[in-house]
């Protein structure tokens, strides 16, 4: 059983190291959800649609 745990830990460390290496190569950065939504909307949702969405939301209250 101890061998299995050690093998799984080794695999996890290897995977974490590989992920870190890939992120460094790709220039990937961690982005919070709020920032993602802001950037996504800025790129893919026209401003007039964003304004309409905001007005619809405000009319719910």
Does the pLDDT value for residue 34 go beyond 70? yes
Is residue 15 domain-shared with residue 37, that is, in the same domain? no
Q: Tell me the average pLDDT across 31-58.
A: 90
Percent of the chain with pLDDT over 90: 23
Same domain? For 22 and 42 the reply is no
User: In this predicted model, what pLDDT tens digit does every residue of 2-25 receive, in sequence order?
Assistant: 777 777 777 777 777 777 777 777
One domain for residues 36 and 60: yes
pTM of the entire structure? 0.43
Predicted local confidence at residue 55, as pLDDT: 94
Domain that holds residue 43: 31-61
Question: Cα torsion at 53, 58, 60, 61 (round to 10°)?
Answer: 160
Q: How many CB atoms lie under 10 A from the CB of residue 35? A: 11
17 shares a domain with 1: yes
Residue 10 and residue 23 share a domain: yes
- 21 and 1, same structural domain? yes
12: tokens are 């996890």
Do residues 23 and 35 share a domain?
no
Total domains in the chain come to: 2
Would you say residue 1 has pLDDT above 70?
A: no
């Amino acid at each position: 059983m101890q061998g299995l745990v050690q093998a799984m830990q080794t695999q996890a460390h290897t995977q974490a190291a590989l992920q870190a290496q890939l992120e460094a190569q790709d220039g990937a950065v961690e982005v919070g959800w709020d920032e993602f939504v802001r950037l996504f909307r800025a790129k893919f949702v026209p401003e007039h649609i964003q304004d309409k969405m905001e007005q619809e939301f405000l009319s719910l209250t």
